[in-house]
Amino acid sequence: NAGVMQNPRHLVRRRGQEARLRCSPMKGHSHVYWYRQLPEEGLKFMVYLQKENIIDESGMPKERFSAEFPKEGPSILRIQQVVRGDSAAYFCASSPRTGGLADTQYFGPGTRLTVL
Amino acid sequence: AQSVAQPEDQVNVAEGNPLTVKCTYSVSGNPYLFWYVQYPNRGLQFLLKYITGDNLVKGSYGFEAEFNKSQTSFHLKKPSALVSDSALYFCAVRGVDSNYQLIWGAGTKLIIKP
């Protein structure tokens, strides 16, 4: 009964490198959300995806950040040319269906990105 | 505009005493309210939610929350605090205008002292 899985749990990158964060939703869930949490702050919504579709990316920075959720495999959050300000915890959540206001989002353990 | 407020950055409670973590909200229409807990260096764990019906919602680890429509509040409570309850607690709300997006509070750090 695996929950939401994220890997890696910790990722260290040097400025200018690329970071790839992976998220596998709970079994039976087809909707994925990515959030960013800075130290001592709450969660900030980044993007909402369904299989092969980006539903809402209003929280994503306009440059360097992209996300996908292919038909097969995990969802990927990709950060190109990382900068120190990208250092944060990135959380993925999944839910079973869309449009259900009562749906609960279940969170993974997060990936802690450190940019040197 | 939709919003969630957690007015206390930190709440200190002695072990065995009752605890309350406050949350107020502003949404259009009926709210869907959630509480999550985050332990250090961990993800968020779902505690409970209010959808409709009974104003008192019971959740995990002995927590409960009371929905008060007139005061637009959804305070988290526990009759007897444990040291292991020390964590960061987040309130979130979803309304008809936010659809799938959860609107999050800034979080309240709960410290239970032995």
A105 close contact with B: CB closer than 8 A: yes
pLDDT band with cut points at 50, 70 and 90 for residue B56: very high
Convert the pLDDT of each residue in B4-52 to its tens digit.
Answer: 999 999 999 999 999 999 999 998 888 999 999 999 878 899 999 998 8
Convert the pLDDT of each residue in A51-60 to its tens digit.
Answer: 899 988 989 9
Q: What is the pLDDT of residue A96?
A: 83
Phi/psi at B84 (5° precision): -70, -10
pLDDT above 90 (res B1):
no
Q: What is the pLDDT of residue B38?
A: 92
Phi/psi at A83 (5° precision): -125, 165
In a mutagenesis test of the B interface, which of A4, A33, A54, A107 is the best target, namely the one with the most B β-carbons within 10 Å? Answer: A107
| CA distance linking residue A61 with residue B14, whole number of Å | 43
| CA distance linking residue B39 with residue A83, whole number of Å | 27
Q: What is the pLDDT of residue B69?
A: 93
B32 close contact with A: CB closer than 8 A: yes
A and B: number of Cβ contacts within 8 A: 55
Q: Work out whether strand A75-79 and strand A19-24 pair parallel, antiparallel, or are unpaired.
A: antiparallel
Region A61-86 average pLDDT: 95
| CA distance linking residue B75 with residue A95, whole number of Å | 24
